[in-house]
């Protein structure tokens, strides 16, 4: 709690301070057996006050506490304090109580449900209150992963800069302001497998894991439905395991990818070729394709090893996962496109193009880096692309999401006219196939087409860049189609969400002691903080609100939003609603769409709307990010001009007012054999020509990345509405 002097406590500690009128009323009501309307720690205090007789309050003082007149006395001390009562005041006790209660309700309504004592400034002249100050400090501590000692030092540092010491000086007292027991928090399951060192045997962890899943598969988990009272028995199975290539070969018990038979899905032996001053293991395309691995084949190799025979086909140990119930040790491992494609093939190609060790090669474009950087600066991604694009010169520091964005959206427009046409056409194959396999759902004929496209990409990789650049990640492209057939689109089984939450979990603990308790406490504090931010009063200073929201970047915080259901779709309208005055053209469109006159429609516009976790905004002139460009229909692209809530006879609906653009296909070329042409990228032919349309918000729209350079505007459609990088 705060060290700031509070008026309702000073009368217990200092002689001569007048007791508040409301407290006297409560004591009087308690003495007469009247229920107290205010929950107060002092509501149970006994009062001997009678008419004309002063109140007497006894306070127990700790032994080490010295009173003002008995500083040298030892032992416990009892102070008796007398509070004179005014007869005229006592006659109006109940009337005053009702009036004060009404005033308090008025204050609560004005302050958004915040008690009046929490609306007092931190000190005279301060812009914020103590609760808001604590909120901002907690957001700062969680944002920058401060330890408890750092928070304590920060509190003390802030206190010495204030006119009076207003903040608690320890983390314990500070955290009492965010007691999670009074908040609604969301429960999550945390699994701790400890820290795995490089030389740790995976069987140490896999054996108890497999034993537990045997119990879950046989006995299941029994529970009773709290609403119906029906008892259920749910059996649990592990069916998929997404991981990188280093971990996967250890889990399967096979040779690593830099050895012979290192592929997890086929029996490609691999080929060692010279590269630079040494040699490297490569995986050139073989025809006919090598035999595919299978669960049965892996079991036969395990039996072979168990009988003392030498290893064969790359199987060097018996994996405990072979006996995991209903788990296929081959198909149960999908190709993780985050590691294989984004950080694998994508990074590999960037190094070939921009690394100066290849300056004599035909594909080297490092001398055109300034042109590439200039184009990248004119790319405007939406919020769904978490990181703004950076120069390839900083590719050593890129995250996997940046390589993903480079492959899907930036590479073709940026490299057009810079990379030789043969290499750009080769890159087109990869962009088209990966985008198709990342859609919300992928049809069987699309999977088969992408399989052909990726085979051609792998074959041309050797022709264009040489056999020594046929890395294992390039070979894994041949298994992407089977991964989608067996496990679903690439986004459904990638490591992106796991890697992202690993980063967040790592920021929730410090040191090596009581890690689980640290994670639980800080995660709960984060939820409490989010709940409190979403319930901030309407009169919160904009500067404070902007500061706290900035510190909570990356976390879903909705401060001002209107929630409604439109055509069975949950919609969040963000911002303050304003009356919408449509132009004559839009007026005609709305009347035609709703079959009613505009005078009978109640129109309000909002700045943003959230649908399925995606945020759509009206175009703004400032800022690099743009959330206003959308694609819909077969090949239509438009810019959101207004988000309008319409209330009419048929109820409430939300519509987009869209400025539809004229578009044309980009001339990146197309592959005549496969038909690959990166159709998700289009070019706005004439930005000045537009057609205004009204679309119900339930119409499937897809957000776009935009790029504006060389007098051209490109729109790159996102592959799905589910994946957030």
Amino acid 14: pLDDT: 59
The answer to whether the CB of 618 falls within 8 A of the CB of 609 is no
- Pairing mode, strands 608-611 and 569-574: antiparallel
Nearest by Cα to 12 from 61, 46, 52, 47 = 61
| DSSP notation for 608-649 | EEEETTEEEE---SSSS----EEEETTTEEEEEEEEEEEEET
Q: Which of 263, 325, 249, 250 is nearest to 291 (CA)?
A: 263
Burial level of 125, CB count in 10 A (0-12/13-18/19+)? exposed
Supply the pLDDT for residue 691: 77
Query: Residue 702, exposed/middle/buried by CB under 10 A (0-12, 13-18, 19+)?
Result: middle
Angstrom distance (rounded) from CA 160 to CA 164? 8
- The C-alpha atoms of residue 637 and residue 650 are separated, in whole angstroms, by 29
**Angstrom distances, CA of residue 373 to CA of 27, 350, 367, 421, 654:** 73, 14, 12, 20, 40
Residue 51 DSSP SS3:
coil
> Which among 499, 417, 344, 401 is positioned nearest to 705, based on CA atoms?
401
The length of the chain, given as a count of residues: 725
Could you give the count of Cα atoms lying within 13 Å of 189 in the half-sphere of its Cβ? 1
Fill in the DSSP letter of residue 311: P
The rounded distance, in Å, linking the Cα atoms of 137 and 562 is 28
* pLDDT value, residue 386: 86
Give every residue of the chain whose pLDDT is below 70, as ranges.
Answer: 1-18, 21-22, 25, 27-119, 179-200, 538, 553-560, 621, 687-690, 725
How many whole angstroms separate alpha carbon 715 and alpha carbon 708?
9
**How many Å apart are CA 683 and CA 714, to the nearest integer?**
5
CA separation for the pair 393, 370 (Å, rounded): 10
CA-wise closest residue to 10 among 81, 62, 72: 81
- Of 149, 55, 34, 188, give the one whose Cα is nearest residue 98: 34
pLDDT, tens digit, 9 for 90 and up, residues 614-649: 889 988 767 788 999 999 888 889 999 899 988 887
Concatenated DSSP letters of 335-377: --HIIIIIIIIIHHHHHHHH-GGGTTSTT--GGGHHHHHHHHT
The pair of structure tokens assigned to 508 is 């929730």
Burial readout 150-161 (b: 16 or more C-beta within 10 A, e: otherwise): ebbebbeeeeee
Q: List the domain boundaries for the chain.
A: 121-179+508-557, 202-234, 558-717
pLDDT value at residue 118? 57
Q: How far apart are CA 554 and CA 566, in angstroms?
A: 27
- Residue 120: CB partners within 8 Å, gap ≥ 6? 129, 130
End-to-end CA distance of the chain: 40
Q: Copy the structure tokens of residue 325.
A: 């119930």
């Amino acid at each position: 709690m705060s060290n700031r002097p509070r008026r309702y406590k000073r009368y217990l500690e200092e002689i001569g301070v007048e007791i508040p009128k409301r407290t006297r009323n409560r004591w009087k009501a308690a003495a007469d057996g009247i229920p107290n309307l205010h929950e107060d720690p002092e509501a149970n205090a006994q009062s001997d006050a009678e008419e004309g007789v002063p109140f007497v309050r006894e306070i127990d003082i700790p032994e080490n506490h010295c009173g003002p007149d008995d500083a040298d006395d030892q032992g416990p001390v009892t102070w008796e304090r007398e509070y004179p009562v005014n007869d005229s005041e006592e006659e109006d006790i109940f009337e005053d109580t009702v009036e004060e209660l009404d005033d308090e309700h008025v204050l609560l309504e004005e302050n958004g449900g915040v008690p009046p004592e929490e609306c007092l400034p931190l000190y005279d002249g301060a812009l914020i209150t103590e609760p808001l100050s604590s909120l901002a400090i907690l957001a700062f501590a969680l944002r920058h992963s401060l330890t408890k000692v750092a928070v304590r030092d920060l509190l003390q540092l802030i206190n010495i800069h204030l006119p009076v010491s207003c903040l608690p000086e320890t983390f314990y007292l500070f955290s009492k302001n965010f007691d999670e027991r009074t908040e609604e928090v969301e429960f999550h399951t945390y699994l701790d497998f400890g820290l795995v060192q490089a030389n740790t045997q995976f069987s140490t962890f896999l054996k108890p894991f497999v034993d537990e899943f045997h119990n879950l598969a046989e006995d299941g988990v029994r529970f009773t439905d709290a609403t119906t009272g029906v008892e259920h028995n749910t059996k649990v199975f592990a069916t998929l395991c997404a991981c990188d290539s280093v971990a996967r070969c250890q889990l399967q018990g096979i040779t690593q990818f830099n050895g012979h038979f290192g592929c997890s899905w086929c029996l490609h032996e691999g080929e060692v070729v010279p590269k630079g001053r040494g040699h490297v293991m490569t995986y050139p395309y073989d025809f006919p394709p090598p035999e595919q691995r299978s669960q049965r084949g892996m079991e036969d190799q395990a039996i072979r090893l168990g009988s003392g025979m030498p290893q064969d086909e790359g199987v060097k140990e018996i994996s405990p996962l072979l006996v995991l119930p209903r788990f296929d040790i081959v198909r149960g491992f999908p190709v993780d496109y985050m590691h294989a494609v984004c950080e694998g093939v994508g990074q590999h190609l960037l190094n070939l193009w921009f690394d100066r060790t290849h300056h004599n090669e035909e594909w080297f474009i490092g001398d055109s880096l300034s042109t590439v950087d200039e184009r990248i600066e004119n790319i405007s991604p939406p919020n769904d692309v978490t990181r703004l694009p950076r120069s390839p010169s900083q590719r050593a520091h890129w995250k996997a999401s940046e390589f993903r964005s480079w492959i899907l959206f930036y590479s073709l427009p940026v490299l057009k006219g810079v990379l030789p046409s043969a290499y750009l056409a080769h890159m087109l194959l990869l962009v088209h196939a990966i985008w198709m396999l990342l859609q919300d759902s992928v049809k069987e004929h699309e999977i088969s087409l992408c399989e052909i496209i990726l085979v051609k990409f792998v074959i041309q990789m050797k022709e264009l860049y040489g056999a020594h650049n046929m890395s294992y990640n390039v070979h894994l492209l041949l298994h992407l189609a089977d991964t989608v057939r067996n496990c679903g689109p690439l986004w459904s089984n990638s490591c992106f969400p796991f890697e992202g939450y690993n980063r967040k979990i790592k920021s929730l603990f410090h040191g090596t002691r009581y890690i689980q308790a640290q994670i639980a406490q800080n995660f709960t504090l984060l939820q409490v903080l989010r709940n409190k931010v979403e319930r901030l009063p309407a009169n919160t200073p904009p500067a404070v609100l902007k500061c706290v929201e900035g510190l909570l970047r990356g976390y879903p915080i909705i401060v001002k939003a209107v929630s409604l259901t439109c055509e069975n779709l949950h919609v969040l309208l963000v911002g303050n609603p304003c009356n919408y005055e449509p132009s004559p053209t839009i007026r005609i469109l709305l009347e035609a769409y709703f079959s009613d006159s505009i005078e009978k429609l109640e129109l309000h516009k909002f700045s943003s709307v959230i649908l399925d976790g995606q945020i759509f905004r009206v175009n703004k002139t400032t800022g690099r990010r743009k959330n206003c460009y959308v694609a819909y229909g077969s090949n239509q692209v438009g810019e959101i001009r207004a988000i309008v809530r319409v209330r009419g006879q048929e109820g409430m609906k939300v519509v987009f007012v869209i400025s539809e653009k004229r578009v044309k296909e980009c001339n990146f070329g197309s592959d005549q054999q496969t038909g690959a042409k990166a159709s998700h990228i289009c070019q706005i032919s004439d930005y000045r020509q537009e057609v205004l349309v009204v679309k119900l918000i339930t119409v499937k729209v897809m957000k776009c990345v935009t790029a504006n350079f060389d007098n051209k505007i490109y729109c790159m459609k996102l592959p799905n509405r589910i994946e957030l990088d």
